[in-house]
Amino acid sequence: MVTSNNNKVMVVEAEQGGCGGGGGGEFKHLPEGCIANILSFTTPRDACVLSLVSSSFRSAAQSDVVWERFLPSDLHAIVSQTSKPLSYSSKKELYLHLCDNPILIDGGKKSFALDKPSARRCYMLSARSLSIVWGNTPRYWRWTSVPAARFWEVAELVSVCWLEIKGGIKGRMLSPNTLYGAYLVFKQRNGGAYGFENQPVEVSVGVAGEGEGRRRTVYLEAATPRRPRHQIVPRIFSRVRSRFLDSFDAAPPPPPPPSRVDDSAVGGEHPKEREDGWMEVELGDFFNGGGEEEVEIGVYEVKSGEWKGGILVQGIEIRPKNKN
């Protein structure tokens, strides 16, 4: 049986079953092109799962008809922005290449990729494409090359007391009707970072022209165990205090053990390590309806007045937030 819901086809019974229970509607009697057309209305993940149903499904799932539907309709315009031509033998190979190997576009200032389970678009805005306060002042920021980076250069924070980074992207560049997350991608330089320990950083994501967007607090250092607090008490006072407590025949409660920072208690998220060795922290999310509006993203630490430095900023990644 084949059912359709919002242009998403699901195969409930396949090799042994038939449409309506009759022998003439069995899937094994369908032409391969018909099966391929059905699979093209699913998702890449569903197509791969359904390829296990039978040999006819497996053959149809390799068809260019299926994987061309998963590729962006304006892929030619996107690929024309890269300096390296793409080589592939099938549309499936091209699709998987774009999932696993982001391509540089817009003069190397952005990267483009596809989300493998859903075929939705992903972008990373390089540090060069962001607006960084004092970004072109070598005393505060330095532009350098890092072998493990996606882009030709990254921004190295030398030392600032006013950290402000902004970026934006047009909604029409992204997949419509999709919930996206924005992530700051960075790492500490070899000598380490300073000024970020337990220092909240404000971040925001919102549509341009609709106020400042939703603001939240994050941290740019990984969560570390809290150190127990010790009171320095003169010995004589300690003895008096001990006799005083003994007079009540009760012992003081033991000090609490060290515990990890609780994100929900302090109201901030800490960065996590990525597969590529960099760190990322979520700045917020937004629903893209596919219109012409621009989404603005910001990172701010301008209130403490403390000097901070020692991080490498690669960019801001914008990708779908998969629910499954």
- Tell me: the pLDDT tens digits for 53-94? 888 888 888 999 999 999 999 999 998 988 788 889 999 999
Could you please report the per-residue DSSP string of 182-246? Answer: EEEEEEE-TT--BS-TT--EEEEEEETTSTT-EEEEE-SS---BPPPP-----HHHHHHHHHHHH
> The sheet that has 163-170: what strands, in order across it?
131-132, 163-170, 294-301, 201-207, 214-218, 268-269
Distance of CA 256 to the CA centre of its chain: 36
Sequence-ordered alpha helix ranges (H) in 40-90: 44-50, 55-60, 64-70, 75-79
Identity of the amino acid at 7: N
- Tell me: the pLDDT tens digits for 263-279? 433 458 999 999 999 99
Read off the DSSP letter of residue 257.
Answer: P
pTM for this predicted structure: 0.78
145, 153 contact by CB (below 8 A): yes
Residue 217 and residue 268: Cα distance in Å, rounded? 5
Each residue's pLDDT tens digit in the chain (324 positions)?
333 344 444 444 444 444 444 433 466 678 888 988 889 898 999 999 988 888 888 888 899 999 999 999 999 999 898 878 888 999 999 999 999 999 999 999 999 999 999 999 999 999 999 999 999 999 999 999 998 899 999 999 999 999 999 999 999 999 999 999 999 999 999 889 999 999 999 999 998 877 667 899 999 998 765 544 444 444 443 454 444 334 444 444 444 444 343 343 345 899 999 999 999 999 999 999 988 899 999 999 999 999 999 999 999 999 999 764
Whole-number Cα distances in Å, 283 to 26, 214, 271, 287:
50, 10, 10, 14
Radius of gyration of the chain (CA): 27
